[in-house]
Chains A and B, each alone.
Chain A
């Protein structure tokens, strides 16, 4: 599995929208000039150089990697979680996993640190989604009467040519509904609709086969429709 991750191309950040969503725009990694200098002294070290320095125990190199890419992980965390404490936990967990897996990272070429870290973050989110589901957090039962009535009203107003886009849904309510989906379904939906990634890119990111991603995407959309029908 590790090999497969390392071999994967940087497909995830190929699409401009996904690139922006994954925070690629903010990653400036010009080539370093002096390998001997520590990360603290040389702020222009590339990710690969920082990884090499962190591997030999340069703590400031790992800190720089964290500072460079924490927004990316935070953004990914907010795709699946709504609470700040949950997202902070995802950031911590992802960077801890990355730290202990630094020796497995094979940079160079099109295998960037960003896509490697994104994979770790997505898997961390997936694990946390599964844990949250096991704990039974945020079920449909958590909908307040007002929220349920509001949704019911909005759904009854739906018409084939209706202005669905104008419907105002609170983020909290949306998250409560989405949390009813299976973790893998929700993950595929978020990556497909929000990150605007292709099936192949999601497959690269999650490590699932394209057939599995397609199947989950269909199942997720069907599941969400069924969930909304129940509220009618």
Chain B
């Protein structure tokens, strides 16, 4: 039945097992009637249609979500642009202010006063005020140069 040499035995084994494997494969085949029964299964097409419609609905919802997001983004663009302009303007303004008072808060110098021009009095005005001379405007005449 089996040859003595290991190689020969393996070859014979392989040959027999291959034939047995082919038989296994053939045995696994379905009959024509079975194939037809599965193909002609009732409501098979209907189930396919239902699944297709469900999938189409899902895809439409997905597309809808994307579109609504894009719509929202489209409406937000002017607001975002305005915000960007404001941000840019303030960015440009910031260095000019720091240039105006470069040493603000450093050392012994006084901190800058923004309304200095409005409420400060010149020396002439102080003298005129002390002497009771009007500078043209009725009232106390303060606050203008």
B16→A160 contact, CB < 8 A: yes
Interface residues of B in 1-38 (CB under 8 A from A): 1, 12-30, 34-38
Bound Cα distance A19, B14 (Å): 31
Which of A34-42, A86-94, A103-111, A203-211 contacts its partner?
A: A86-94
Query: How near does chain B come to A151, taking the closest CB pair, in angstroms?
Result: 10
Q: Does A8 contact B (CB under 8 A)?
A: no
Using A84-B34, A159-B16 as known contacts, say yes or no to A193 and B52 having CB atoms under 8 A apart: no
The CA of A104 and the CA of B38, in the complex, are separated in Å by 28
Is there contact, CB below 8 Å, between A87 and B38?
yes
Q: B42-50, B68-76, B88-96, B109-117: which lies at the A interface?
A: B42-50
User: Complex: how many Å from CA A71 to CA B35?
Assistant: 7
- A-binding residues in B (CB < 8 A): 1, 12-30, 34-41, 44-45, 47-49, 51-52, 55
Stretch with Cβ within 8 A of B (4 or more), from A125-133, A142-150, A167-175 = A167-175
Complex interface: chain A residues within 8 A of B47 (CB): 92
Q: Can you list 14 A-B contacts (CB < 8 A)?
A: A66-B48, A70-B39, A71-B35, A87-B38, A91-B44, A96-B55, A162-B16, A164-B19, A164-B23, A169-B23, A177-B24, A224-B24, A225-B13, A228-B17
Number of A-B contacts (CB under 8 A): 112
Chain A binding site: helix, strand, loop or mixed by DSSP? Answer: helix
A207 to chain B, nearest CB (A): 23
A101→B15 CA distance, assembly (Å)? 44
**Pick the contact of A96 from B40, B41, B52 — CB < 8 Å?**
B52
Interface of A with B (CB < 8 Å)? 59, 63, 66-67, 70-71, 73-75, 77-79, 82, 84, 87-88, 91-92, 95-96, 99-100, 154-155, 158-160, 162, 164-165, 167, 169-171, 173-175, 177-178, 189-190, 193-194, 221, 224-225, 228-229
User: Which of chain B's residues has its CB closest to A67's CB?
Assistant: B45
Q: How far is the CA of A75 from the CA of B28 in the complex (A)?
A: 12
